[in-house]
Structure 1
Amino acid sequence: MSFTLFPSTRLALALESLAGLSVGDALGAQYFVPGNHPSDLLRARVPAAPWEWTDDTEQACCLVTALGDGDFDRDGFAETLARRFDAYRGYGPGAVVMLREIREGLPWPIAAASAFDGQGSCGNGAAMRAAPLGAWHADSLAHAAAQGARAAEVTHAHAEGIAGGVAVSVAAAVAAAGRLDGRRPEPAQLLLATAAHTPAGSVHDGLIEAAGITGGQEEAAHRLGNGARALAQDTVAYALWAAARYLDDYPAAVAACVIAGGDVDTTAAIAGGVVSAYTGVEGIPAAWLAAREPLPGWLPVTGGG
């Protein structure tokens, strides 16, 4: 990597990733509504606006407010998550309990460690919000991995939940670095670079398997999972396969997630955040961006909308 990032550039990269994440999340969520058919997306037909975003976007907005110089501000992030979360945005029951505990004064390390009978969460929360952090650290995959772990640990004490956040952070950093370098990373290159910075375990192994898949979406979803189990082990590898495969084609990446079924708002959020780190907001169809519900007013800057 042969570039220097100034704070304004880091923020611009993070906000463009947030735009892609939020549009993917909001569009994906429409396919939980009866009458909206995923196959329509292959014919460029999308649901009627507005598209409301879910907890994926709300948490990502909280994350962006915590970005800054030095180590990721975990205490500030935990406080913002607890203060801003809206349980009606699709949060899982475990997340609602945890965030309410933090809001009521329980230190986040205790709340995160006590989740799921002391096992910690290995769900998708850390992964689905992570792409803007990776884009912020486009100049260092090692920093993206380290800070991705710090951000994940606020709510996820399970090793796989943390690995999911790390993997998405690194993938977004690879994508943004490719944009800045003017070189699109090949799909296997992106996935293997991500795996190289992801802790050992099921998420890591899924990335290695994803790098070797030469078939299409059906094969990838069958082998990697589509998020139906709402676990990082079942979600992250496929979402990043879609992002790597369609890194220069935002609509195709999101469509690959929607058609695969499962946790489509989350897979589309992950893939969308990584792809827009590479394409910028220009890669997102303007009509899709306009259809997405505006980002929350408490976000100081909204970049791509």
Structure 2
Amino acid sequence: MNHHAIIGCILGTAVGDALGLPYEGVSPTRSPRLLGPPNRHRFFFRRGMISDDTEHTCMVAQALIDACDDVPKFTRGFARRLRWWILALPAGVGKATARSGIKLWLGASPEKAGVFSAGNGPAMRAAIFGAALDDVPSMLNFVRACSRLTHSDPKAEHGAIAVALAAIHSRVHKKIDANLWLGEVVDAVGEGGTELIDLLRQAIRSVDAGKATKTFADSLGLHRGVTGYTYHTVPVAIHAWLSSPNDFRQAVTSIIECGGDADTTAAIVGGIMGASVGKEGIPSEWLDRIWEWPRSVFWMERLGESLANSLDGDSAVSSPTINPIAVLLRNLLFLSIVLFHGFRRLAPPY
């Protein structure tokens, strides 16, 4: 099974998330003055920490281990983890995800917990499906179920599908064929995804013309940063991937430089790229300086191995667990660092 791709996707998501996190919500013009270039971790004493983008990817991987190719079982497992994740007071949780988590606690079924939102929550956790699952129709069923659990707007689902298909294309093809990938997206999203397809075509034309990812983002009106709207997030992330399909460092750096929801955009690009380059293609200094507990880099590698082994047919595999008290303590520390960054942004340089 795809050990290389699965571990690379999880770790790539984590690295992109951690690198982009200090830049979240900062405009692309201010971020170089306030923080400097995104060439190293700047969250906590030259260390990086992960946020909900990576945590959701890990929960998806755990639910896939438990599911044994059963989509309803996967949905129940992910819903259960989402409920407890919300209870641990995660900082920066998206509004739609928070509302769906509350609905789950109030007794809503996983099929009815989603709220009508086109946020990028489903897209941020979608790359792992493409890294792990070979059968495309089956993979798409998992992506749709995972998306609808929190976001019922079809746009959110379409964005997640585009990311998952990018990850599997990145994993399978040594040479990226953007038009072949786009054709797969067209088939998967149908007529309802026409707006997204038009944006993705614009991204491909921009890459073919040699335009920078920041220039493409500006052409979409995102001068102040990429928003959390999935039809902003996904096309810009795809542009970064297609511009540097074999260069993890360049792809992740270029998306962070676009500003805005930088942790999520970089996590998406990192997940897609990681499915192709594996752990070995991720800059070691970025990976080694992630400062996390209890979801450490070692724990995430174990999770990736467990998922790969379970998909290989090892029925004895169980997903690695984490201590909920440890998660709560970690989240309180994380929140204090996030608040520090928030207050720091009130001061110059502007």
Could you give the per-residue CA deviations for residues 247-299 of structure 1, whole angstroms, max 9, x where no partner exists?
11111011111111121111101100000101001111111111223364486
Compared with structure 1, are the counterparts of its residues 177 and 140 closer, same or farther at alpha carbon in structure 2 (3 Å cutoff)? farther
Could you give the per-residue CA deviations for residues 176-211 of structure 1, whole angstroms, max 9, x where no partner exists?
112xxxx22144544444444334233232222212
Match of 2:229 in 1: 231
How far did residue 67 of structure 1 move? Answer: 1.3
Compared with structure 1, are the counterparts of its residues 11 and 87 closer, same or farther at alpha carbon in structure 2 (3 Å cutoff)? farther
1:93 aligns with 2:118: no
Distance 2:70 2:216 in 1: 35
Distance 1:56 1:225 in 2: 25
Q: 189, 196, 208: which one pairs with 1:203?
A: 196
Compared with structure 1, are the counterparts of its residues 132 and 56 closer, same or farther at alpha carbon in structure 2 (3 Å cutoff)? same
Could you give the per-residue CA deviations for residues 39-60 of structure 1, whole angstroms, max 9, x where no partner exists?
8437x45424321211111111
Distance 1:299 1:17 in 2: 10
User: 8 Å contact 2:112–2:149 — kept in the other structure?
Assistant: no
1:50 aligns with 2:47: yes
Compared with structure 1, are the counterparts of its residues 282 and 224 closer, same or farther at alpha carbon in structure 2 (3 Å cutoff)? farther
1:261 aligns with 2:252: no
User: 8 Å contact 1:276–1:284 — kept in the other structure?
Assistant: yes
User: 8 Å contact 1:49–1:291 — kept in the other structure?
Assistant: yes
- Secondary structure of the residue aligned to 2:90 is helix
Q: How does 1:50-89 map to 2 (within 5 A)?
A: 50-68=47-65, 69-72=68-71, 73-85=74-86, 86-89=88-91
How far did residue 17 of structure 1 move? Answer: 0.4
TM-score w.r.t. structure 1 length? 0.83
How far did residue 133 of structure 1 move? Answer: 1.0
Distance 1:22 1:33 in 2: 18
How far did residue 231 of structure 1 move? Answer: 1.0
1:157 aligns with 2:152: yes
Match of 2:248 in 1: 250
TM-score w.r.t. structure 2 length? 0.73
- Name the stretch that deviates more: 103-112 or 248-257: 103-112
User: 8 Å contact 1:144–1:170 — kept in the other structure?
Assistant: no
Match of 2:170 in 1: 175
User: 8 Å contact 2:61–2:304 — kept in the other structure?
Assistant: no
RMSD: 2.7
In structure 2, stretches of 5+ residues that fail to align are: 306-350
Could you give the per-residue CA deviations for residues 208-227 of structure 1, whole angstroms, max 9, x where no partner exists?
22122122223321234656
Distance 2:302 2:76 in 1: 21
How far did residue 150 of structure 1 move? Answer: 1.9
How far did residue 232 of structure 1 move? Answer: 0.7
Distance 2:70 2:202 in 1: 32
How far did residue 233 of structure 1 move? Answer: 1.1
Q: 11, 20, 26: which one pairs with 1:28?
A: 20
User: 8 Å contact 2:120–2:156 — kept in the other structure?
Assistant: yes
How far did residue 97 of structure 1 move? Answer: 2.6
Compared with structure 1, are the counterparts of its residues 195 and 273 closer, same or farther at alpha carbon in structure 2 (3 Å cutoff)? farther
Distance 2:301 2:253 in 1: 30
In structure 1, stretches of 5+ residues that fail to align are: 1-8
Distance 2:261 2:221 in 1: 10
Q: 9, 19, 37: which one pairs with 2:11?
A: 19
- Name the stretch that deviates more: 163-172 or 219-228: 219-228
Distance 2:77 2:6 in 1: 18
Distance 2:98 2:40 in 1: 34
User: 8 Å contact 1:79–1:103 — kept in the other structure?
Assistant: no
Q: What percentage of residue pairs aligned between the two structures are identical?
A: 29
Compared with structure 1, are the counterparts of its residues 33 and 167 closer, same or farther at alpha carbon in structure 2 (3 Å cutoff)? closer
